[in-house]
Amino acid sequence: MKSLSLSRRKRTLSAWLVLGCSVITLVGCSDTPVSLPTTTPDTAAATPSASTPATKPAATAVESELPYKFPLTGLPSAKEVKSRPFMVMVENAPQARPQTGLDQADIVYEILAEGEITRFVSVFQSHEATTIGPVRSIRPYFVEIGDALDAVIVHAGWSQEAMDMMAGRKLAHLDEVYGDGAYYWRSTDRKAPHNLYTSVDKMKKGAEARKFRSEWNGPLLTFAKDDGQSKLTGAAVHYILIPYLQGYFVSYEYNPTEGVYMRSMEGKPHLDKETGKQLQAKNLLVLESKHKIVDKEGRREVDVFGPNKGVILQEGKSQQITWERKNGMLRAYAEDGKEVPLLPGNTWVQIVPEGTALKME
């Protein structure tokens, strides 16, 4: 092939430069079970299946030049976010699955309720989720999480202790059972009580109608700086099984392409009902906590203050930590006492009884 003329080479170079600038502009604008703690870095290095994934996700800290960050995810925002988050109690009984909206929550806590069920404490601030639910009732330790977050608490019913707590502290909350039904709806494809839903828009209207304070006084999270990638120092973990109770075995498998842990329940992908999207976590914390059954209905006391032990997983790596609630959040701390930063993105927190045997590979 003949060489391009000098002028043609210049025109070609100019075209490539224009294309390159355009691309830059576009990018800029948009599992033998053991108790916690478990594997050590040395044993992980000797186990081929636990090797660090060869593919690492792209750094998130440089994906945008937007001037602000969402407080609960650390992801870029075009404007400063001062609005209070909403904390929605989402059911996890078999009749409530699959749920809707958990894929758009900034933070999700999964915690045992009474009997042999878990419940989700889902926190929304950065996404305008149009359907969230099914919504169910609240318990005292869930209230503690919402109060510390300075969130508007959204629920359908309560235990007496939880209601006394909210009333005594004068907490902002929307209760479908007593007075706030206008900000919820019931679907026709499921039977009550497993068919109650809300949305961010309806919650905003309810908060406005109830004249709740709109500006957030909540805590700040600590996110990784520099390249936004994990600096965890423990074993590589591509799979973790969290056995709550019968029917509530939760597992996560690492997806190196996306840099997230994909969530399953009972060995099947845990999907969002509306989008069909598998639930995932950029940051995954498994925290041991003191649990106590306090009445004949099986209601529990769950410690959401700490300190206690746990493990954090990010980008296929793990680190043994101590957790404690400080400055409004359940935070992870390394052996040296320094807080372990989160990666920009969403966070799932699995609160489990002390001595829970995890399976990690």
| Reported pTM | 0.83
pLDDT in tens, 120-162: 999 999 999 999 999 999 999 999 999 999 999 999 999 999 9
Determine contact, residues 248/116, Cβ cutoff 8 Å.
yes
The H-or-E segment that residue 68 falls in is: strand 68-69
Amino acid 128: pLDDT: 96
Mean pLDDT of 282-303: 89
pLDDT in tens, 174-183: 999 999 999 9
Quick check: 294 pLDDT over 70? yes
What is the distance between the alpha carbons of residues 56 and 36, in angstroms, rounded to a whole number?
26
Quick check: 47 pLDDT over 80? no
In 3-state terms, the chain is what percent helix, strand and coil (to 5)? 20, 35, 45
pLDDT confidence bin for 23, thresholds 50/70/90: very low
Closest C-alpha among 193, 222, 177, 180 to residue 342: 222
Minimum mean pLDDT range among 45-59, 84-98, 327-341: 45-59
Sheet containing 107-112: order of strands: 173-175, 152-155, 86-91, 118-124, 107-112, 347-353, 283-289, 308-314, 317-326, 329-333
The H-or-E segment that residue 163 falls in is: helix 160-169
| Comparison of pLDDT for 59 and 4, the residue scoring more | 59
Three-class SS state of 171: coil
pLDDT confidence bin for 57, thresholds 50/70/90: low
How many C-beta atoms surround the C-beta of residue 105 within 10 A? Answer: 29
pLDDT in tens, 185-220: 999 999 999 999 999 999 999 999 999 999 999 999
Q: What percent of the chain has pLDDT over 70?
A: 82
